[in-house]
Structure 1
Amino acid sequence: MNQRTGILSARMWLLTLLDAAERIGIAPLSAQRLHRLVYLGNAMAPVYDLLTPDGYLLKYKRGPFFPEVQWDIDRVCAQGLAAISNLKTFNDDLGWWFEADYSLTEGGMAAVDKAIRLAEMSRRATFIREVVRAFASVLRDEEPPEAPDDVVLMDVTYKNADADGPIDFETASRNLTSLAADAIARRVSSNETAGRRETVHLYFRYLDRVWDLQQGRASA
Protein backbone atom coordinates (compact mmCIF):
# COMPACT_ATOMS: atom_id res chain seq x y z
CA MET A 1 0.00 0.00 0.00
CA ASN A 2 1.55 3.34 -1.03
CA GLN A 3 1.32 6.46 1.11
CA ARG A 4 -1.56 8.04 -0.80
CA THR A 5 -3.60 4.83 -0.74
CA GLY A 6 -2.94 4.53 2.99
CA ILE A 7 -4.15 8.08 3.64
CA LEU A 8 -7.32 7.56 1.61
CA SER A 9 -7.97 4.27 3.40
CA ALA A 10 -7.57 5.90 6.83
CA ARG A 11 -9.93 8.72 5.92
CA MET A 12 -12.52 6.34 4.54
CA TRP A 13 -12.29 4.41 7.82
CA LEU A 14 -13.19 7.66 9.61
CA LEU A 15 -16.05 8.45 7.24
CA THR A 16 -17.42 4.95 7.72
CA LEU A 17 -17.27 5.46 11.49
CA LEU A 18 -19.26 8.70 11.19
CA ASP A 19 -21.69 6.91 8.88
CA ALA A 20 -22.17 4.16 11.47
CA ALA A 21 -22.84 6.77 14.16
CA GLU A 22 -25.52 8.33 11.94
CA ARG A 23 -27.16 4.97 11.25
CA ILE A 24 -27.15 3.87 14.88
CA GLY A 25 -28.34 7.20 16.24
CA ILE A 26 -25.41 8.54 18.27
CA ALA A 27 -24.32 11.29 15.85
CA PRO A 28 -22.75 13.76 16.01
CA LEU A 29 -19.62 12.34 17.63
CA SER A 30 -17.66 14.52 20.02
CA ALA A 31 -13.92 14.63 19.42
CA GLN A 32 -13.40 12.57 22.56
CA ARG A 33 -15.92 9.92 21.52
CA LEU A 34 -14.55 9.83 17.98
CA HIS A 35 -11.00 9.07 19.15
CA ARG A 36 -12.17 6.49 21.68
CA LEU A 37 -14.23 4.67 19.06
CA VAL A 38 -11.28 4.81 16.66
CA TYR A 39 -9.14 3.31 19.41
CA LEU A 40 -11.44 0.36 20.07
CA GLY A 41 -12.09 -0.15 16.37
CA ASN A 42 -8.35 -0.31 15.75
CA ALA A 43 -7.73 -2.60 18.72
CA MET A 44 -10.54 -5.02 17.81
CA ALA A 45 -9.94 -5.13 14.05
CA PRO A 46 -8.26 -8.58 14.28
CA VAL A 47 -11.56 -10.04 15.54
CA TYR A 48 -12.86 -9.50 12.00
CA ASP A 49 -9.52 -10.46 10.43
CA LEU A 50 -8.90 -6.85 9.45
CA LEU A 51 -5.59 -5.02 9.53
CA THR A 52 -5.27 -2.39 12.25
CA PRO A 53 -5.27 1.06 10.57
CA ASP A 54 -3.19 2.73 13.29
CA GLY A 55 -1.79 0.41 15.94
CA TYR A 56 0.47 2.79 17.81
CA LEU A 57 -0.28 5.71 20.09
CA LEU A 58 0.77 7.26 23.39
CA LYS A 59 -1.39 6.96 26.48
CA TYR A 60 -2.77 10.46 26.96
CA LYS A 61 -4.13 11.67 30.29
CA ARG A 62 -7.49 12.43 28.67
CA GLY A 63 -7.83 9.04 27.02
CA PRO A 64 -7.05 7.72 23.53
CA PHE A 65 -6.02 10.40 21.05
CA PHE A 66 -4.48 9.94 17.60
CA PRO A 67 -2.80 13.06 16.16
CA GLU A 68 -2.94 11.62 12.64
CA VAL A 69 -6.64 10.82 13.03
CA GLN A 70 -7.26 14.40 14.12
CA TRP A 71 -5.42 15.62 11.04
CA ASP A 72 -7.51 13.32 8.85
CA ILE A 73 -10.85 14.34 10.38
CA ASP A 74 -9.95 18.00 9.93
CA ARG A 75 -9.03 17.31 6.29
CA VAL A 76 -12.31 15.54 5.48
CA CYS A 77 -14.14 18.45 7.09
CA ALA A 78 -12.20 20.84 4.84
CA GLN A 79 -13.16 18.67 1.85
CA GLY A 80 -16.85 18.92 2.76
CA LEU A 81 -17.22 15.21 3.53
CA ALA A 82 -17.75 15.82 7.24
CA ALA A 83 -18.91 18.79 9.28
CA ILE A 84 -17.55 20.26 12.50
CA SER A 85 -19.63 22.17 15.05
CA ASN A 86 -19.42 23.45 18.63
CA LEU A 87 -15.67 23.95 18.40
CA LYS A 88 -14.12 25.53 21.47
CA THR A 89 -10.89 25.45 23.43
CA PHE A 90 -10.53 25.34 27.19
CA ASN A 91 -7.96 25.09 29.95
CA ASP A 92 -8.42 22.76 32.92
CA ASP A 93 -6.22 20.87 35.37
CA LEU A 94 -4.82 18.79 32.50
CA GLY A 95 -3.91 21.84 30.41
CA TRP A 96 -5.20 23.31 27.18
CA TRP A 97 -7.54 21.17 25.07
CA PHE A 98 -10.46 21.44 22.68
CA GLU A 99 -13.98 20.17 22.14
CA ALA A 100 -15.80 19.68 18.85
CA ASP A 101 -18.63 17.65 17.34
CA TYR A 102 -18.31 15.82 14.02
CA SER A 103 -20.99 14.57 11.66
CA LEU A 104 -21.20 13.25 8.12
CA THR A 105 -22.38 15.50 5.28
CA GLU A 106 -24.43 14.39 2.30
CA GLY A 107 -21.21 14.32 0.30
CA GLY A 108 -19.64 12.06 2.92
CA MET A 109 -22.65 9.75 2.88
CA ALA A 110 -22.40 9.46 -0.91
CA ALA A 111 -18.66 8.69 -0.62
CA VAL A 112 -19.32 5.92 1.91
CA ASP A 113 -22.17 4.44 -0.15
CA LYS A 114 -19.87 4.32 -3.16
CA ALA A 115 -16.93 2.88 -1.22
CA ILE A 116 -18.83 0.01 0.38
CA ARG A 117 -19.61 -1.41 -3.03
CA LEU A 118 -16.05 -2.71 -2.84
CA ALA A 119 -15.80 -6.00 -0.96
CA GLU A 120 -12.99 -4.89 1.36
CA MET A 121 -14.73 -1.66 2.31
CA SER A 122 -17.98 -3.56 2.86
CA ARG A 123 -16.19 -5.83 5.36
CA ARG A 124 -14.79 -2.80 7.16
CA ALA A 125 -18.18 -1.10 7.27
CA THR A 126 -19.81 -4.22 8.73
CA PHE A 127 -17.17 -4.35 11.47
CA ILE A 128 -17.24 -0.63 12.28
CA ARG A 129 -21.03 -0.61 12.50
CA GLU A 130 -20.87 -3.50 14.95
CA VAL A 131 -18.33 -1.69 17.13
CA VAL A 132 -20.49 1.44 17.18
CA ARG A 133 -23.64 -0.60 17.84
CA ALA A 134 -21.93 -2.41 20.73
CA PHE A 135 -20.74 0.92 22.15
CA ALA A 136 -24.23 2.41 21.86
CA SER A 137 -25.67 -0.58 23.72
CA VAL A 138 -23.77 0.34 26.91
CA LEU A 139 -24.80 4.00 26.96
CA ARG A 140 -27.04 5.09 29.83
CA ASP A 141 -29.21 8.18 29.79
CA GLU A 142 -28.85 8.83 33.49
CA GLU A 143 -25.06 9.10 33.47
CA PRO A 144 -23.05 12.28 32.96
CA PRO A 145 -21.94 12.74 29.33
CA GLU A 146 -18.35 11.58 29.89
CA ALA A 147 -19.22 8.35 31.74
CA PRO A 148 -20.13 6.12 28.76
CA ASP A 149 -16.96 7.17 26.98
CA ASP A 150 -14.89 6.33 30.05
CA VAL A 151 -15.95 2.70 29.63
CA VAL A 152 -13.27 2.62 26.92
CA LEU A 153 -10.61 3.31 29.56
CA MET A 154 -11.37 -0.15 31.02
CA ASP A 155 -9.87 -1.75 27.90
CA VAL A 156 -7.14 -4.20 28.94
CA THR A 157 -4.52 -2.74 26.59
CA TYR A 158 -5.17 0.83 27.71
CA LYS A 159 -5.35 0.02 31.43
CA ASN A 160 -2.07 -1.90 31.39
CA ALA A 161 -0.11 0.78 29.54
CA ASP A 162 2.13 3.13 31.51
CA ALA A 163 1.04 6.76 31.84
CA ASP A 164 2.33 8.75 28.85
CA GLY A 165 3.82 5.49 27.56
CA PRO A 166 3.43 3.84 24.15
CA ILE A 167 0.59 1.50 23.22
CA ASP A 168 1.38 -0.86 20.38
CA PHE A 169 -1.25 -3.34 19.25
CA GLU A 170 -0.25 -3.49 15.60
CA THR A 171 0.94 -7.09 15.92
CA ALA A 172 -1.37 -9.87 17.10
CA SER A 173 0.94 -10.93 19.94
CA ARG A 174 0.85 -7.40 21.43
CA ASN A 175 -2.87 -6.83 20.97
CA LEU A 176 -4.20 -7.65 24.42
CA THR A 177 -7.63 -6.31 23.45
CA SER A 178 -8.38 -8.78 20.66
CA LEU A 179 -6.82 -11.62 22.69
CA ALA A 180 -9.01 -10.74 25.68
CA ALA A 181 -12.11 -10.44 23.50
CA ASP A 182 -11.51 -13.90 22.05
CA ALA A 183 -10.88 -15.37 25.51
CA ILE A 184 -14.07 -13.84 26.94
CA ALA A 185 -16.10 -15.06 23.98
CA ARG A 186 -14.78 -18.62 24.37
CA ARG A 187 -15.64 -18.60 28.06
CA VAL A 188 -19.07 -16.98 27.87
CA SER A 189 -20.48 -18.14 24.57
CA SER A 190 -22.93 -21.03 24.60
CA ASN A 191 -21.44 -22.11 21.30
CA GLU A 192 -18.08 -23.81 21.04
CA THR A 193 -16.85 -20.94 18.90
CA ALA A 194 -18.34 -17.45 19.22
CA GLY A 195 -19.05 -15.49 16.07
CA ARG A 196 -17.29 -12.24 15.32
CA ARG A 197 -20.32 -10.09 16.07
CA GLU A 198 -20.91 -11.88 19.39
CA THR A 199 -17.25 -11.45 20.33
CA VAL A 200 -17.43 -7.67 19.82
CA HIS A 201 -20.59 -7.32 21.89
CA LEU A 202 -19.34 -9.58 24.69
CA TYR A 203 -16.20 -7.50 25.02
CA PHE A 204 -18.17 -4.27 25.33
CA ARG A 205 -20.36 -5.88 27.99
CA TYR A 206 -17.18 -6.88 29.80
CA LEU A 207 -15.92 -3.27 29.70
CA ASP A 208 -19.29 -2.06 30.97
CA ARG A 209 -19.19 -4.59 33.81
CA VAL A 210 -15.67 -3.56 34.83
CA TRP A 211 -16.74 0.10 34.75
CA ASP A 212 -19.72 -0.66 36.99
CA LEU A 213 -17.53 -2.53 39.48
CA GLN A 214 -15.04 0.33 39.57
CA GLN A 215 -17.86 2.81 40.23
CA GLY A 216 -19.30 0.56 42.95
CA ARG A 217 -22.59 0.10 41.08
CA ALA A 218 -22.45 -3.69 40.91
CA SER A 219 -21.50 -6.41 43.31
CA ALA A 220 -18.47 -8.56 42.59
Structure 2
Amino acid sequence: MNSNPFLASRAWLLMLLEGAERNGINTIQMEQLHRYIYLANVLSPVCMLVMPESYTLKHMRGPYFPKAQWDIGRLILQGFVESKNFKPFSDDNGFWLAADFRITKRGILCIKTLAEYSYFREQANYLREFMSACSLIPTQKINTITQLDFHYAAASEGEGVKFSEMEGNLSKKAVVLMFPEDRVYTPTEGVHRYINYLDEVSVSS
Protein backbone atom coordinates (compact mmCIF):
# COMPACT_ATOMS: atom_id res chain seq x y z
CA MET A 1 0.00 0.00 0.00
CA ASN A 2 2.96 2.36 0.38
CA SER A 3 4.61 1.74 -3.00
CA ASN A 4 3.46 5.08 -4.44
CA PRO A 5 5.25 7.89 -2.55
CA PHE A 6 2.90 10.53 -3.96
CA LEU A 7 -0.23 8.77 -2.72
CA ALA A 8 1.46 7.93 0.59
CA SER A 9 2.33 11.58 1.29
CA ARG A 10 -1.18 12.69 0.34
CA ALA A 11 -2.72 10.04 2.59
CA TRP A 12 -0.46 11.13 5.45
CA LEU A 13 -1.55 14.75 5.08
CA LEU A 14 -5.20 13.72 5.02
CA MET A 15 -4.67 11.64 8.15
CA LEU A 16 -3.14 14.65 9.91
CA LEU A 17 -6.26 16.69 9.09
CA GLU A 18 -8.45 13.81 10.28
CA GLY A 19 -6.51 13.77 13.55
CA ALA A 20 -7.09 17.50 13.88
CA GLU A 21 -10.82 17.12 13.27
CA ARG A 22 -11.04 14.25 15.75
CA ASN A 23 -9.43 16.42 18.43
CA GLY A 24 -11.57 19.50 17.91
CA ILE A 25 -9.21 21.46 15.66
CA ASN A 26 -11.77 22.09 12.95
CA THR A 27 -9.85 24.41 10.66
CA ILE A 28 -6.12 24.88 10.21
CA GLN A 29 -4.58 27.98 8.69
CA MET A 30 -1.96 27.47 5.98
CA GLU A 31 1.02 28.59 8.06
CA GLN A 32 -0.15 26.51 11.01
CA LEU A 33 -0.53 23.47 8.77
CA HIS A 34 3.17 23.56 7.90
CA ARG A 35 4.06 23.85 11.61
CA TYR A 36 1.95 20.80 12.43
CA ILE A 37 3.58 18.93 9.55
CA TYR A 38 7.03 19.73 10.89
CA LEU A 39 6.30 18.79 14.49
CA ALA A 40 4.52 15.58 13.50
CA ASN A 41 7.48 14.60 11.34
CA VAL A 42 10.23 15.50 13.78
CA LEU A 43 8.52 13.48 16.54
CA SER A 44 7.55 10.48 14.38
CA PRO A 45 10.82 8.63 15.16
CA VAL A 46 9.73 8.61 18.83
CA CYS A 47 7.02 6.18 17.70
CA MET A 48 9.42 4.38 15.32
CA LEU A 49 7.71 5.84 12.26
CA VAL A 50 9.17 7.77 9.35
CA MET A 51 6.83 10.23 7.66
CA PRO A 52 7.00 11.36 4.00
CA GLU A 53 8.49 14.79 4.72
CA SER A 54 12.07 14.68 5.97
CA TYR A 55 13.62 18.03 5.11
CA THR A 56 12.91 21.76 5.28
CA LEU A 57 14.84 25.01 5.23
CA LYS A 58 14.92 27.14 8.35
CA HIS A 59 13.16 30.31 7.26
CA MET A 60 11.96 33.45 9.03
CA ARG A 61 8.38 32.27 8.45
CA GLY A 62 9.09 28.87 9.92
CA PRO A 63 8.99 25.43 8.28
CA TYR A 64 7.46 25.22 4.82
CA PHE A 65 6.94 22.13 2.63
CA PRO A 66 6.30 22.78 -1.09
CA LYS A 67 5.31 19.15 -1.71
CA ALA A 68 2.74 19.24 1.08
CA GLN A 69 1.37 22.46 -0.40
CA TRP A 70 0.96 20.65 -3.71
CA ASP A 71 -0.66 17.68 -1.93
CA ILE A 72 -3.21 19.86 -0.15
CA GLY A 73 -4.20 21.33 -3.51
CA ARG A 74 -4.75 17.87 -4.93
CA LEU A 75 -6.80 16.81 -1.90
CA ILE A 76 -9.01 19.86 -2.36
CA LEU A 77 -9.59 19.05 -6.02
CA GLN A 78 -10.47 15.47 -5.08
CA GLY A 79 -13.03 16.66 -2.54
CA PHE A 80 -11.22 15.25 0.50
CA VAL A 81 -10.37 18.68 1.94
CA GLU A 82 -12.19 21.99 1.81
CA SER A 83 -10.50 25.37 1.64
CA LYS A 84 -11.92 28.70 2.78
CA ASN A 85 -10.71 32.31 3.01
CA PHE A 86 -8.07 31.81 0.33
CA LYS A 87 -6.15 34.99 -0.44
CA PRO A 88 -2.64 36.10 -1.42
CA PHE A 89 -0.89 38.74 0.63
CA SER A 90 2.47 40.43 1.04
CA ASP A 91 4.27 41.47 4.21
CA ASP A 92 7.82 42.18 5.42
CA ASN A 93 8.75 38.56 4.74
CA GLY A 94 7.54 38.66 1.13
CA PHE A 95 4.69 37.09 -0.82
CA TRP A 96 2.54 34.45 0.86
CA LEU A 97 -0.83 32.75 0.61
CA ALA A 98 -3.48 32.44 3.31
CA ALA A 99 -6.23 29.81 3.55
CA ASP A 100 -8.10 27.70 6.09
CA PHE A 101 -8.26 23.93 5.60
CA ARG A 102 -10.59 21.26 6.94
CA ILE A 103 -11.15 17.60 6.11
CA THR A 104 -14.51 16.80 4.49
CA LYS A 105 -16.87 13.91 5.19
CA ARG A 106 -15.55 12.25 2.07
CA GLY A 107 -12.03 12.62 3.46
CA ILE A 108 -13.05 11.04 6.77
CA LEU A 109 -14.56 8.08 4.92
CA CYS A 110 -11.32 7.73 2.97
CA ILE A 111 -9.35 7.53 6.23
CA LYS A 112 -11.65 4.78 7.51
CA THR A 113 -10.82 2.77 4.40
CA LEU A 114 -7.09 3.46 4.63
CA ALA A 115 -7.02 2.48 8.32
CA GLU A 116 -7.96 -1.06 7.33
CA TYR A 117 -4.32 -1.47 6.25
CA SER A 118 -1.71 -1.73 8.99
CA TYR A 119 0.74 0.64 7.26
CA PHE A 120 -1.75 3.51 7.28
CA ARG A 121 -3.40 2.51 10.56
CA GLU A 122 -0.13 2.99 12.47
CA GLN A 123 0.34 6.42 10.96
CA ALA A 124 -3.29 7.40 11.57
CA ASN A 125 -3.10 6.36 15.23
CA TYR A 126 0.14 8.29 15.70
CA LEU A 127 -1.22 11.44 14.07
CA ARG A 128 -4.37 11.27 16.20
CA GLU A 129 -2.23 11.14 19.33
CA PHE A 130 -0.02 13.93 18.03
CA MET A 131 -2.98 16.18 17.33
CA SER A 132 -4.43 15.25 20.72
CA ALA A 133 -1.27 16.63 22.34
CA CYS A 134 -1.47 19.76 20.19
CA SER A 135 -5.18 20.29 20.86
CA LEU A 136 -4.38 21.65 24.33
CA ILE A 137 -2.33 24.47 22.81
CA PRO A 138 -3.95 27.53 21.19
CA THR A 139 -3.43 27.25 17.44
CA GLN A 140 -1.77 30.68 17.28
CA LYS A 141 1.00 29.35 19.55
CA ILE A 142 2.00 26.54 17.20
CA ASN A 143 4.46 28.81 15.39
CA THR A 144 6.11 29.74 18.69
CA ILE A 145 6.55 26.20 19.96
CA THR A 146 7.86 25.06 16.57
CA GLN A 147 10.63 27.65 16.77
CA LEU A 148 11.51 26.26 20.22
CA ASP A 149 11.75 22.65 19.08
CA PHE A 150 15.26 21.39 19.88
CA HIS A 151 16.00 20.08 16.39
CA TYR A 152 14.73 23.20 14.63
CA ALA A 153 16.35 25.61 17.08
CA ALA A 154 19.76 23.98 16.55
CA ALA A 155 19.78 24.95 12.86
CA SER A 156 20.99 28.32 11.61
CA GLU A 157 18.79 30.65 9.55
CA GLY A 158 18.63 29.43 5.96
CA GLU A 159 20.16 26.08 6.86
CA GLY A 160 18.60 22.79 5.82
CA VAL A 161 16.89 20.84 8.60
CA LYS A 162 16.73 17.03 8.26
CA PHE A 163 14.56 15.40 10.88
CA SER A 164 12.87 12.11 9.96
CA GLU A 165 15.88 9.99 10.90
CA MET A 166 15.90 7.63 13.83
CA GLU A 167 19.41 8.73 14.83
CA GLY A 168 20.63 12.31 15.01
CA ASN A 169 17.15 13.64 15.75
CA LEU A 170 17.60 16.06 18.67
CA SER A 171 13.88 16.15 19.46
CA LYS A 172 13.75 12.38 19.82
CA LYS A 173 16.79 12.49 22.10
CA ALA A 174 15.11 15.22 24.18
CA VAL A 175 12.04 13.02 24.68
CA VAL A 176 14.24 10.21 26.03
CA LEU A 177 15.94 12.59 28.47
CA MET A 178 12.58 13.74 29.85
CA PHE A 179 12.10 10.40 31.58
CA PRO A 180 14.29 8.71 34.23
CA GLU A 181 16.34 5.84 32.82
CA ASP A 182 14.35 3.27 34.84
CA ARG A 183 10.99 4.81 33.91
CA VAL A 184 8.94 2.79 31.44
CA TYR A 185 6.89 5.02 29.15
CA THR A 186 4.96 4.64 25.92
CA PRO A 187 6.09 6.48 22.77
CA THR A 188 2.84 8.46 22.64
CA GLU A 189 3.37 9.52 26.25
CA GLY A 190 6.72 10.87 25.14
CA VAL A 191 5.07 12.87 22.35
CA HIS A 192 2.54 14.37 24.76
CA ARG A 193 5.21 15.28 27.31
CA TYR A 194 7.43 16.91 24.70
CA ILE A 195 4.63 19.04 23.23
CA ASN A 196 3.59 20.04 26.74
CA TYR A 197 7.21 20.95 27.51
CA LEU A 198 7.42 23.22 24.45
CA ASP A 199 4.18 24.89 25.52
CA GLU A 200 5.53 25.55 29.01
CA VAL A 201 8.82 26.91 27.69
CA SER A 202 6.98 29.23 25.29
CA VAL A 203 5.34 30.97 28.24
CA SER A 204 8.67 32.02 29.73
CA SER A 205 10.50 32.71 26.46
User: So what's the TM-score if we normalise by structure 1?
Assistant: 0.88
Whole-Å Cα distance in 1 between the matches of residues 107 and 141 of structure 2? 29
Does residue 147 (structure 1) correspond to residue 138 (structure 2)? The answer is no
Deviations 1:32-58 (A, max 9, x none): 111111101111111111113211111
- What residue is the counterpart of 2:40 in the other structure? 41
Whole-Å Cα distance in 1 between the matches of residues 84 and 129 of structure 2? 26
Does residue 175 (structure 1) correspond to residue 166 (structure 2)? The answer is no
Whole-Å Cα distance in 1 between the matches of residues 105 and 59 of structure 2? 33
Ranked by relative contact order (alpha carbons within 8 Å, sequence separation 6 or more), the top structure is 2
Contact residue 145 and residue 199 of structure 2 kept, 8 A = yes
- What residue is the counterpart of 1:196 in the other structure? 187
Whole-Å Cα distance in 2 between the matches of residues 29 and 85 of structure 1? 10
- What residue is the counterpart of 1:120 in the other structure? 119
- What residue is the counterpart of 2:17 in the other structure? 18
Q: How far is the alpha carbon of 1:11 from its aligned partner?
A: 0.5
- RMSD, matched Cα: 1.8
Whole-Å Cα distance in 2 between the matches of residues 60 and 75 of structure 1? 25
Q: How far is the alpha carbon of 1:130 from its aligned partner?
A: 0.9
Q: How far is the alpha carbon of 1:119 from its aligned partner?
A: 1.3
Q: How far is the alpha carbon of 1:171 from its aligned partner?
A: 2.4
* Letter in structure 2 aligned against 1:63: G
SS in 2 for 1:172: coil
Call closer, same or farther: CA 1:163–1:38 in 2, change over 3 Å. same
Whole-Å Cα distance in 2 between the matches of residues 157 and 26 of structure 1? 25
- What residue is the counterpart of 1:106 in the other structure? 105
Whole-Å Cα distance in 2 between the matches of residues 169 and 23 of structure 1? 26
Whole-Å Cα distance in 2 between the matches of residues 75 and 148 of structure 1? 25
- What residue is the counterpart of 1:160 in the other structure? 154
Deviations 1:74-101 (A, max 9, x none): 1111111111111111111111111111
Q: How far is the alpha carbon of 1:26 from its aligned partner?
A: 0.9
Contact residue 33 and residue 149 of structure 1 kept, 8 A = yes
- What residue is the counterpart of 1:71 in the other structure? 70
* Runs of 4+ more than 2 Å apart: 145-149, 170-174
SS in 1 for 2:135: helix
User: So what's the TM-score if we normalise by structure 2?
Assistant: 0.94
Percent identical residues: 34
Contact residue 50 and residue 165 of structure 2 kept, 8 A = no
Contact residue 168 and residue 174 of structure 1 kept, 8 A = no
Q: How far is the alpha carbon of 1:148 from its aligned partner?
A: 4.0
Call closer, same or farther: CA 1:14–1:22 in 2, change over 3 Å. same
